Structure 1
Amino acid sequence: MTFSKCVCLICQSAIAIPKKRNVERHFRTIHGKYDTDFPLKSELRKRKVKELKSQLSGQQSFFTQTSKAKVATEASFRVSHIIVKNKKSFQDGEMVKEAFVEAADSLFRDFKNKAEILSSIKALQLSRCTVTRRCEAMAEDLTQQLWTDIRDCDCFSLQMDESTDVSDTAQMCIFIRMVFSDITTKEELLTLLPMKEQTRREDIFQSFKNFVEKTQLPVYKLMSITTDGAPAMVGRLNGFIAKCRQDDDFPDFLNYHCIIHQQALCAKMLNRKEIMDVAMKIACSNRARSLQRRLFRAHLEKADCDHSELLLHTDVRWLSRGKFLQRFRELCPEIKEFFRVAAGHAEYTQLNDGQWLLDWAFLTDLTNMLNDLNLELQGKDKTVINMISSVNAFKRKMKHLSSKLQRHDLANFQNLASELEMQGKAFATFMCYPFREDAEVDSLASQIATLFHLNSSGVEDEILTLQADIELKSRAHGQFWNLLTEVKYPNIRKCATSLTALFGSTYLCESAFSHMKIIKSKYRSTMTDEHLEVCLRLAVSSYCPDYASLTDSIQCKSSE
């Protein structure tokens, strides 16, 4: 009997209602000769029944093995996904399996079914080739999910940047932000385009154009492209953006220079060379020679400091400047003491110059504020509105702090206040909130209409209607723009959708390059471009592979 049904051992037929008379009727009607050929209670009958039972068990065991193989296959997909999301090598699957077996031997030592558990673990398919195939299949599944969303979205924007991998191949990374009818968004890796030869503006454009034609990317939905502001990307006549605008397949889109890049460029103007040069010379002199570095570490250990050594700073990673200056300031007393007792060091009179120390403390405070702004601009799902609001807030904060400094209020300048104490001296727009009564409707409508190619008078009417809508005003928080209906506010809704689509930076590309440097390292420098894209997509995607569907699509086998 199986699943509440009686199964005939002779003909494998199932009897729907498991009652004795139904079984007897089936036997006498279909298999009446069995009583003659195999007499009741005879040895011949017993042997025949045993043989039939054995056949049924074999058939059932086949299906059980198939089910176990299917479970093992799905598990191998899941483990492979974790391996690649953590940017590990394909061959690490064998190490994971070995560790799993060793751990299970201890964890399940007192379990009655320990042998069955170990058998299931050993059935996992995690060889290097298998993990590679699993990752290729999962990446293809994620790509299909992405293209389904691209077809369904109302509009999208792109951000793109280029960097070289460890084998000196230029990789053009492109991310997409899709906006759907309910004004929700998704950000995903669109593609990674390897550029084997030159990376001139025409090469970048041709590579992207080939991708558009090959994949049938619906560029008519394109709202904006965000780049890093390099001449090859934004050259007025022949840059990548200019070539896209000259191509009839592309719509009239917006383009942005990454706001984070702009903020970094502005921050570099705060150079204060006379401070940085001295601090860098001291740090480099300690770090350049092994003996001096060991002696300085021993000196800090004796002084029971919180830090073990100085940091280094490079202009490429400009965010390190704030951390470098902060660490230098915290260790300044120990640095001066080390220079006093150690022989062979140049004298740095600036470390005892009160004005220089004040300038240094001020630079440290201001650089830390710039670092905080930069970090605030980073991250996923940041819209242009969010980023511009952060920049505007920072500008207002700077004006406010300037007036506080003139009043000798140093509450926001902790390092400067500390230095003065040691020396003994005393010392956000309409799209954010559309219901402001002082909003200039004419000017606002004109700007929106020009930017998004809308009818100015229609936008004007909608703004006035919106500002008088009491119900919407009471709900002006969260996903506010989704409350506007397409019938009543077509222009403003299109404006909100377009703004939601815009990338304000190339943060996702820069973040992806960090993943890429780990994935394609000097130990995996022969990795193909195809596998690099597979690994990168699995590492950064927010989609989850459809494990069940992937498992059903292949022939499941257990590991030998």
Structure 2
Amino acid sequence: MAEGKRAKTYHFHPEWEQDYFFVYSHSKPVCLICNTTVALAKKGNLEWHFKTVHRSYERDFPAKTLLRATKVRDLKAQLAARQSIFTTPKTQSKAATIASYRVSHVLAKHNKPFKDGDIVKEAFLEAADSLFDHFKNKTEIVDAIKGVQLSRNTATRWCEGMAVDVEEQLRRDIDACECFSLQFDESTDMVDVAQLCVFIRMVFEDMSTKEELLTILPLKGHTRGEDIFNAFMGFVSGTKLPLFKLISITTDGAPSMVGRTSGFIALCKESESFPDILNYHCIIHQQVLCGKILNMKEVMDVAMKIVCSVRARSLQRRLFRAHLEENDAEHTDLLLHTDVRWLSRGKFLDRFMELLPEIKDFLRLSKHMDYHTKLEDHQWLLDLSFLTDLTGELSELNLELQGKGKDVVNMMSSVSTFKSKLKLMSNRLRLGNLCNFPHMQAELQRQGKGVTQLDSARYEEHVQSISSEFERRFTDFASIEPIASYMCYPFGASIDVGDIAAKVKSLFDFESSTLEDEILTLQNDIEMKARSTSAQRGEHVVFWKLLVAEKYPNLRRCALNLTALFGSTYLCESAFSHMNIIKSKYRSTMTDDHLAACLRLATSSYTPNYEKLASSSQCQVSH
């Protein structure tokens, strides 16, 4: 063909159906009479075929008559029926494949083994047998269920494919986001392989956020700072993670993470691959450490000894349960305490206090257990009540700090509120007001004592020691607090422009003079001030989203960075709970790749593209 000459395009005309008994199917003209296909949709080709091969049809079915139109319609219906023989099984196979993907995703979401797909299918068939009993197409429904592929190997492959698809969606979001922060934590799985868990918090141009599992990396040997750093840098190199968008890293405060010379954070700050980043110690861990300063070891030791004496022996535990049932107790057993669980001590003490009368009666009646004298010691019982009440307050704070999507500003507000509450509790104790200590108040009434007989100074000292520990520990976030206060409401009358600009500059390394100009401009921006007032009235408008980037580039960037900050390592801890269920003693041989795939599906907010996955798979019904 000569250069520049375009190939001629031929179009099929609808009237050729009646004229020459041809239809256009699958990009080619097809003869309705003999099913012959013609390469090009040219009138001459179709006319020659009809008049040469099917000359009798011109005579038997005259043109432009009802007889010919009826014959064409019948032949088209026959062609469609023949084609459906091939297309229907393909459609059913694809539907069965999509269904198997969906079921496999549900299994992964709930941390179930791959082989449970067969159980789901068996249960589905059993339910269908009675559920669709009066349906006319029951046989078709049951056959469709039987066609769903849910064998162990198939569910494994589907989970692998879905994990890859979800990871691709995450990659696109990482590329699209304005900035992000990371949180790191490390724990061991069922077979003592150290797993480094990394979560990412992304902030987009519209100030929306997403929190997702970035990766989980097995550490086969040591778990020193350099080992963690090398493992993470290998991941960064393999995935081309844009570290220039990184704002901060939050860790659990372990020496391997925060060591001054060879800790992970120190190595990150020394590396040229990393920008100037902020680093924080998990707020929840710090809160737990503050609670441990409460030194009432004698109370905990006695309570633990009593509970363990009941629960350590099977017979005594059964007898105690029976004793609780006889007395119509609200609970049926005692709880054990372990330091690694954040809320363990609060729940343990609360249950112990609620069942204290039943514990006393059981120990008195038991022939094989000694009655502990501390259970009749009035001072020890008051100490127990005080510890239960104060630990309960700490547990409430802990629950408030937990959860996905927690903003660092809100977490800091919760901690600041609790610090103020501790001061209020201390003052109330000094004045003999026990409204924050209901268990202690009830114990005083039981002993027939008044508040004036309480040694309040003894308990006030404990509250003050916790308050001092809170003030000492949360210095990491002290530099954020004034900036967060300004960003929450930038139109306060007492705002010191120079001071705010200097603090933002020290935190995020912005140019202070330009920042001062933006703060002054914003303070006098009548439109933005009105919008801020409207947002406060409950119109759910994200104020900083409304700022024009060209007019307020630094303030908008500051808001983005502040929104990106992780306040805790809660997501990593939550992921480890999933990991312990996924890789249990019954699945201890699970590979690291399969663990990562299952964990990603269990924790991700993304939905796999089932249609795309099924189209890329070989769709066959189950045999």
Please give the TM-score of this superposition, normalised by the length of structure 2: 0.82
Residue 431 of structure 1 aligns to a residue whose secondary structure is: helix
Q: 1:298 aligns with which of 322, 327, 340?
A: 322
Alpha-carbon distance in 2 for matches of 1:500, 1:419: 46
Residues 318 and 222 of structure 1, relative CA distance in 2, 3 Å threshold = closer
Choose which of 54, 57, 75 in structure 2 pairs with 1:31. 54
Alpha-carbon distance in 2 for matches of 1:53, 1:473: 66
Matched, 1:256 2:270: no
**Equivalent residue number for residue 458 of structure 1:** 514
Query: After superposition, what is the alpha-carbon deviation per residue over 1:179-203, rounded to whole angstroms, capped at 9, x for unaligned?
Result: 1111111111111111111111111
Asked if 1:87 is matched to 2:111, the reply is yes
What residue ranges of structure 2 are gaps of 5+ in the alignment? Answer: 1-13, 24-30, 38-46, 62-73, 452-480
Mapping 1:48-127, distance limit 5 Å: 57-127=81-151
Deviation at 1:94, TM superposition (A): 1.2
Select the residue among 423, 434, 448 that pairs with 1:410: 434
- Within the alignment, does 1:519 sit opposite 2:542 as a pair? no
> What corresponds to 2:497 in structure 1?
441
Name whichever of 369-378 and 342-351 sits farther off: 342-351
- For structure 1, the residue ranges without an aligned partner over 5 or more in a row are 15-23, 39-49
Deviation at 1:389, TM superposition (A): 0.8
Query: 33, 58, 61: which one pairs with 1:10?
Result: 33
CA shift for structure 1 position 12: 4.2
The 1-side partners of 2:59 and 2:552 are apart by 88
Which residue of structure 2 lines up, in the alignment, with residue 319 of structure 1? 343
- Aligned-pair CA distance for 1:268: 0.8
Tell me, in whole angstroms, the C-alpha distance in 1 between the residues paired with 2:250 and 2:565: 8
CA deviation string 1:451-487 (max 9, x = no partner): 1101222222322333333324313444122122212
2: distance between equivalents of 1:362 and 1:530? 49
Of 216, 226, 231, the residue aligned with 2:240 is 216
Contact 1:233 1:241 in 2 (8 A): yes
Once residues 31 and 136 of structure 1 are traced to their aligned partners in structure 2, the CA distance between those partners, rounded to angstroms, is 55
Q: Secondary structure at the match of 1:255?
A: strand
Equivalent-residue separation in structure 2 for 1:344 and 1:107 (angstroms): 56
Q: 1:156-171 maps to which residues of 2 (within 5 A)? A: 156-171=180-195
Moved more, 142-151 or 307-316: 307-316
Cα deviation for residue 329 of structure 1 reads: 0.7
Offset at 1:25? 13
* Count of aligned pairs between the two proteins: 539
Whether the aligned pair in 2 keeps the contact of 1:383 and 1:499 (CA below 8 Å) is no
> In the TM superposition, what is the alpha-carbon distance from 1:500 to its structure 2 partner?
0.6
After superposition, where does 1:390-539 map in structure 2 within 5 Å?
Answer: 390-427=414-451, 429-469=485-525, 470-477=529-536, 478=540, 479-539=542-602
Note the alpha carbon deviations across 1:144-173, whole angstroms, 9 max, x for none.
100001111111110011111111111111
Would you say the 8 A contact 2:32–2:75 is kept in 1? no
Task: Confirm or deny: 8 A CA contact 2:178 2:204 kept in the other structure.
Answer: yes
Q: Tell me: CA distance 1:53–1:386, structure 2 relative to 1, closer, same or farther (3 Å).
A: closer
Q: Once the two structures are aligned, what percentage of the paired residues are identical?
A: 60
Shift of 1:53: 8.4
2: CA distance, partners of 1:156 / 1:401 = 39
Structure 1 residue corresponding to 2:606, chosen from 538, 543, 552: 543
2-structure distance, mates of 1:499, 1:303: 55
Q: Is the 8 A contact 1:9 1:53 kept in 2?
A: no
CA contact (8 A) 1:178 1:501 kept: yes
- Decide whether aligned partners of structure 1 residues 56 and 447 sit closer, same or farther in structure 2, where only a CA change above 3 A counts: closer
Mapped partners of 1:52, 1:281: distance in 2: 86
Tell me, yes or no, if structure 1 residue 276 matches structure 2 residue 300: yes
- Aligned equivalent of 1:359: 383
The 2-side partners of 1:483 and 1:419 are apart by: 55
Q: Is the Cα contact below 8 Å between 2:382 and 2:443 reproduced in 1?
A: yes
Once the 2 structures are TM-superposed, how far is the Cα of residue 294 of structure 1 from its aligned partner?
Answer: 1.8
Compute the RMSD of aligned alpha carbons. Answer: 2.6
1:513-554 Cα offsets, whole Å, 9 max, x none, are 000000111111111111111100111000001111111122
The whole-number CA distance in structure 1 between the counterparts of 2:592 and 2:619 is: 29
- Output the CA distance in 2 between the equivalents of 1:433 and 1:345: 62
Once the two structures are superposed, the pairs formed by residues 327-366 of structure 1 within 5 Å of their partners are: 327-366=351-390
Secondary structure, counterpart of 1:430 in structure 2: helix
Q: Do the aligned residues in 2 keep the contact of 1:433 with 1:476 (CA within 8 Å)?
A: no
How many Å apart are 1:28 and its aligned residue? 6.7
Cα distance, 1:134 vs structure 2: 0.9
Q: Distance in 1 between matches of 2:76 and 2:556?
A: 72
Q: Which letter maps to 1:523?
A: Y
Distance (Å, rounded) in 2 between the aligned partners of 1:300 and 1:57: 72
Query: Post-superposition shift, 1:431?
Result: 2.7
Note the C-alpha offset of 1:35. 8.3
Question: Quick one: distance in 1 between partners of 2:505 and 2:75?
Answer: 85
Cα distance in 1, alignment partners of residues 260 and 387 from structure 2: 36
Q: Which residue of 2 aligns with 1:43?
A: none
Query: Contact 1:229 / 1:257 at 8 angstroms: preserved in 2?
Result: yes
Answer whether contact 2:199 2:572 (CA < 8 A) is retained.
yes
1:447 maps to a residue whose letter is K
Per the alignment, residue 47 of structure 1 pairs with: none
TM-fit CA distance, 1:29: 8.1
Q: Secondary structure at the match of 2:191?
A: coil
Check conservation: 2:498, 2:516, Cα contact below 8 A: yes
Deviates more, 1:434-443 or 1:50-59: 50-59
In 1, are the aligned partners of 2:51 and 2:58 still within 8 Å (CA)? Answer: no
1:326 maps to amino acid:
D
SS in 1 for 2:55: coil
Of 91-100 and 506-515, deviating more is 91-100
Distance in 1 separating the partners of 2:376 and 2:86: 85
Distance 1:351 1:273 in 2: 16
Secondary structure at 2:187's aligned position in 1? strand
Q: Which amino acid aligns with 1:471?
A: A
Q: Distance in 2 between matches of 1:445 and 1:459?
A: 6
